[in-house]
Amino acid sequence: MNITVIGTGYVGLVTGACLADLGNHVFCLDIDSAKIDMLNRGEIPIYEPGLKEVIERNMEARRLFFSTDVAASVSHGDLQFIAVGTPPDEDGSADLKYVLAAARSIGRHMTRFTVVVNKSTVPVGTGDNVRAAIKAELAVRGFHDIGLSVVSNPEFLKEGAAVGDFTRPDRIVLGVDADENGQKALSVMRQLYAPFNRNRERTQVMDVRSAELTKYAANAMLATRISFMNELANLADCVGADIEFVRQGIGSDSRIGYSFLYAGTGYGGSCFPKDVQALVRTAAEHGQDLRILTAVEDVNRMQKRVLVEKIFNRFGPNLSGKTFALWGLAFKPNTDDMRDAPSRVVIGELLRAGAHVAAHDPVATREAERALKLDLADAPALLNGLHFADKPQDALIGADALIILTEWKAYHSPNFVYMKSVMKQAEIFDGRNLYEPEQMSLHEIAYFGIGRKSVS
């Protein structure tokens, strides 16, 4: 098939590359000429394991193209995937200006029946808005009889595992209209995704609005599990329980399961924070108060300061003269995404308290530097107290404590003997519960986890 993907961000790149890998001819469009030039040079603007290899393979096979030519992109694709960003607006609602701009561009140039696929995460009712925007542009051109169908096909990609998630999906959600054009579009979408259904049927067909809500509901449920466990972990700290035992005890219940039951320093990234906010805002527009999700958001915001409070309790609120090693900057491993990363809160608080921070992350240093400059724009001199280490062990030298914020594999089995030999004080504030308190006791390392029994 000839496919156009509008937007070369995280979702657009993964979608375009993986669809090309199935033998389709994919035209990836972006209005950012610098990004398109970068992609055409073989450089990838995001870190995602395996993605670079898929892109290179399909560019070499001439199945994957990158361009800023809007007219050419619409002419190319019988399927037009909209995969642009929907950042949160000032009131927390999803900003649809990029989605609607993409829709208008399609309407200005389409000349035949076209299936427009919303891959972006959008509020309920966006499909209607996209259709209206396209038809308005067609009417201006005097094209009133061109067939059109808008399909909702939300993505369920985990950063750090997106290529595998796309090629081995749990489910493929298709929201289509019941009219003739909708059924025609459904036939095309089934043909496109047929390679993923050979072992079993993964496609779930529903109406457009239900598909739009399904995406938000999925992310909201996962965010709720995270905040639920973080609240229990904070209670465990108060009552002397161990959240890891609690996790095992409830996760073994088949009705609950183990996924997303790990306590930590809160969720971040490009999806959960903005999607929870957008769903709460959508409900408010319809006179509904989603009290559980409002609480989920509040808990997550406070959780990002839990380690800071533990550090202040240990060292006092004035951290002048103290140096902290910090392992992990990205909001999760296998990505360089710094959006709403807990590290931004922790580093900002430590620097404002007078501390020095030596930070390490395998891939996110450049993004972290950019993000922290924005966070501390009101006090840029504080950044003089931050430096980035090339290796995890380098950050430890002379540190009063180690803070762990991302569960990269490289941090799971450190040399604790070396750690004690180069740190001023052997203390760990473990925001991801990577280590066992008993193990730290044997090494005579003071240990403070999230809902774990502390070792002083």
Q: Which residues form the catalytic set? A: 271
d(CA 112, CA 79): 11
Looking at residue 274, the DSSP 8-state letter turns out to be H
Pairwise CA distance, residues 315 & 46, whole Å? 37
User: Tokens in use for 350?
Assistant: 């430590």
Distance separating alpha carbons of residues 296 and 280, to the nearest angstrom? 11
8 A C-beta contact, residue 297 and residue 277: yes
Residue 390, H or E segment: none
β-strand 79-82 against 2-6: which pairing, if any?
Answer: parallel
3-state secondary structure of 52: helix
Least Cα distance to 206 among 173, 166, 233 occurs for: 173
Locate tokens 């002419």: which residue? 75
Q: What contacts 42, CB < 8 A, 6 or more positions away?
A: 55, 56, 59
70: Cβ contacts below 8 Å, ≥ 6 apart:
29, 31, 105, 108, 109
Comparing C-alpha atoms, which of 270, 269, 272, 271 is closest to residue 226?
A: 272
Pairing of strands 323-327, 401-404: parallel
As given in the structure block, the two tokens for residue 207 are 């109406």
**Exposed e or buried b per residue across 55-67, where buried means at least 16 C-beta atoms within 10 angstroms of its C-beta:** beebbeeebbbbb
CA distances from 8 to 14, 83, 106, 278 (A): 9, 8, 16, 23
Q: Scan for tokens 């219940």, then name that residue.
A: 253
* Gap between the Cα atoms of 117 and 51, Å rounded: 22
**Cα 45 to Cα 388: distance, rounded to the nearest angstrom:** 21
CB-CB contact of 361 with 386 (8 Å): no
Structure tokens at 187: 């036939």
Contact status, residue 404 vs residue 376, Cβ threshold 8 Å:
no
SS3 of 288, please? Answer: coil
Order of all β-strands in the sheet with 25-29: 64-67, 25-29, 2-6, 79-82, 114-118, 148-152, 172-175, 203-206
